[in-house]
Amino acid sequence: MSSFLLERRRAGILMPLFSLPGKYGIGSFSKEAREFVRFLKEAGQSYWQILPMGPTGYGDSPYQSFSTFAGNPYFIDLSTLVEEGLLLEEELSALSFSDSEEAVDYGKLYTLRFPVLEKAVKRFLARLEAETESERKDKAEAEMEGETELKPFAKTDAGCFSFKAEKEAYLTFLSDNAHWLPSYAEFMAKKLPYSADFHKVCQYLFTKQWKSLKDYANSLGIKIIGDIPIYVSLDSSDVLDHPALFQLKENGEPSAVAGCPPDAFAENGQLWGNPLYAWEKHEEEGYSWWISRMKHCFSLYDIVRVDHFRGFDEYFSIPYGDENAKRGHWEKGPGMKLFHAMEQALGKKEVIAEDLGYVTESVKKLVKDSGFPGMKLLEFAFDSRESGDYRPNTWTKNTVCYTGTHDNQVLKDWFLEILPEDREMAADYSGKSVEELLKMDYVDFFIKMTLDSVSNTAIIPMQDYLHKGKEARINTPSKLGNNWGYRFAKKDFSKDMAEKIRKMTEESGRLS
């Protein structure tokens, strides 16, 4: 059996962290997250794929973050902070973080979450100071008594262990992340009315809780597929720290920004607005920033999906200030030079190359040369606007297949909303009529078509297994508002649903 996970025939579920059920307005590193991990195990799954976990700003998109290294404080589990004595239950009971358990209210989170976290951070820092003072006192007493070593720490009067181990873990965290954390903390301190120390402690708590959750998932045989955007946000500490690595003018404005050209899906193209990389400078520095970024990612995830992989072959450059992408043009990216440098520094790592959309022969060659599996989408298979051929019979083993991603309509409504000729195309491929498909359980039919494909890895969004409607769509590209907010209910993760998914997984030969 291959030592590489993505070379085995396995399956997983796409489920954003914010979509988990639970208290306090947003999915988090909570007991509900562990319950979902157990659900995955019972359902015979091997992977949990999530979306980027960075701190979000305007628009709430996880693909536009204030830092490519930082974590979103919203995911810190408040109940765990209560258990650790950093918060009091009564400090939470009167707060309403959302008017609905079915959707994230980012406005309320922004208003209420940080004051609560500030209370926890103040108690954390107070304990830190008390531990430091205790160490000074112990050292002074030891010196007076002529002892060369400090006595082992004991339990406090409250029956809890000394904060010494926590302090050592925090100081180690600060040291390990010194290449980005201080500047990020100062950057955020200018955005929000909270100190740099507040942001440092939040990042520590985020990392501590996430790694505990990941370790738990790994212990049950569930691997985590993380997700990173190829670009960083203009409004980020990354750009502020490393301006020479981006295509910027002397005044700090971008000379050009990222996006996609006009096509059948968007007549004006897509204007993302991210600053473009100065790849020549990256090459001069041995791609050290990218190596550092990917090293950090692999400390958080088992596998990393890189969004817009084609940008490493060629990237679309749009003049800064343009209202749309019509005047953009293609520029050459770093190609395999970047991945050779990464492999030399980090060893061979498991990466999923998001190579969807218009793919040229040179992009196909880059994906093949990298050895990374590309992606296949069932919903694209029956879209007459697509230039590529995504029909399942064309898929190959070294791919990761999906019914759809976070950017696509849920399977149930997708089939109802596509053009009539596209429904006919799907029906013809399936050997059925449109009427037959509509009368049967077409959602499970298309899931089974995806699972039965030759792709080594199959990832199905949780919405599709549950036959959710369009209210459960995660994101509609180029549309502001009502994105990134859908949340599931506890009842969605029933024993019957786990058994159904396990059966479909077993029938397709993908049981872990």
* Residue 48 C-beta-side C-alpha neighbours within 13 Å: 28
Q: Are strands 256-260 and 270-275 parallel, antiparallel or unpaired?
A: antiparallel
Q: Which of 227, 313, 354, 386 is catalytic?
A: 354
Give the C-alpha separation, 92 to 104, whole Å.
Answer: 17
Q: What is the DSSP letter of 457?
A: E
* Partners of 13 in beta bridges: 48, 460
Question: Nearest-CA neighbor of 350 among 455, 224, 458, 454?
Answer: 224
Q: Which of 35, 135, 197, 407 is catalytic?
A: 407
Give the C-alpha separation, 446 to 465, whole Å.
Answer: 11
Tally of CB atoms within 10 A around 370: 20
Question: Nearest-CA neighbor of 338 among 275, 301, 274, 291?
Answer: 291
Catalytic status, residue 307 = yes
Which residues does 288 contact at the CB level (< 8 Å), separation at least 6?
none
* Partners of 77 in beta bridges: none
Q: Which of 32, 60, 227, 307 is catalytic?
A: 307
Give the C-alpha separation, 88 to 81, whole Å.
Answer: 8
Catalytic status, residue 241 = no
Question: Nearest-CA neighbor of 415 among 398, 432, 400?
Answer: 432
* Partners of 275 in beta bridges: 257
93-103 exposure pattern, b = at least 16 Cβ within 10 A, e = fewer: eeeebbeeeeb
Active site residues: 307, 354, 407
